[in-house]
Amino acid sequence: MTLKKGYRRGYPVAILAGLGEDKAVLWRIYSMVVKPEKTIQLEGTRREPKALYNFHESIVNALRPTLKEGVRSIILASPARTNYARAFIDHVRGHHTWLIQGPNKTAISEMTGSATTASDVTALARTPLFEGKIQEITSEETDDLIDVLEKRLNASDENKAILYSLEEAENLILPKQKPGRPEPEYLLLTNKYLSNSREKNRLHRLMQIASNRSVKTRIVDSESKAGQRLAQLGGLVCLARLE
């Protein structure tokens, strides 16, 4: 995995938040590259409760757009012998329980290391610890998604639907939704399904429109437990519900 501005970025994997003394830098982790997202400055010092509260709120607000797209794995990196990551997690637990509870909860993990500059992230991304952390956090997240899927499979709720083909997903997601029609919630597919598809343009268009319409879209590693379960169902699943 490299840090660059290349076109071939792969698919979204996680969010890396580099927490420093006076700023936080957010990075988007893709399967092939890491790209800078946003820098949030601390207005004041960490010793000022109001300034620290506002700083943590700004980080949460900066995370919202990516979370809405369906990427719900966050890695918090902070230098050794600091409590920056723990302080942010305490803030989330106290003020944003929606991030860590419920069916749409986010998987959050901590690691020691600096990630506030491009050189920091380049060095961090080359370490086995970083790769292991990504596998750990994304497995936790996708396992949660599969739990949602399994509950749908085992439920007899007429207000919820599961679609298993590209055409069915397109018919649901692409047209503007009308009252009485199912509302798409999740679009899940494996990276193998995407790479082997002869309809890549259709798939990418579908995923882009799904993301624009706040459908949680996630590409899952086919070798993971969640990916293997999706493969049993054909490699692509769309979950929907009636309003």
Residue spans per domain, the chain: 2-140, 155-242
CATH 3.30.230.10 fits domain 155-242:
no
The superfamily CATH assigns to domain 2-140 is eRF1 domain 2 (3.30.420.60)
Q: Which of 68-72, 74-78, 161-165 has the lowest mean pLDDT?
A: 68-72
Which candidate, 100, 55, 94, places its Cα nearest to that of 73?
100
Of 86-90, 102-106, 191-195, the one with minimum mean pLDDT is 102-106
| pLDDT of res. 161 | 84
User: What percent of the chain has a predicted confidence (pLDDT) above 90?
Assistant: 54
Here the contacts of 81-89 (C-beta below 8 Å, separation 24 or greater) are: 82/19, 82/21, 84/19, 84/20, 84/21, 85/19, 85/110, 86/110, 87/46, 87/52, 87/56, 88/17, 88/19, 88/56, 88/59
Buried b (16+ CB within 10 A) or exposed e, 209-223: ebbeeebbbbbbbbe
Query: Among 53-62, 155-164, 200-209, 212-221, which is the least confidently predicted range?
Result: 155-164
Q: Would the pLDDT of 184 be above 70?
A: yes
Query: Amino acid identity, residue 66?
Result: T
Long-range CB contacts (< 8 A, 24+ apart) of 51-58?
Answer: 52/87, 53/91, 55/24, 56/87, 56/88, 56/91, 56/92, 56/95, 57/91, 57/95
Give the per-residue pLDDT at 2. Answer: 52
The mean pLDDT of 85-105, rounded to a whole number, is 91
pLDDT of residue 159: 66
* Whole-number average pLDDT of the chain: 89
At 97, the pLDDT band (50, 70, 90 cuts) reads: very high
Measured in whole angstroms, the distance separating CA 162 from the mean position of its chain's CA atoms is 21
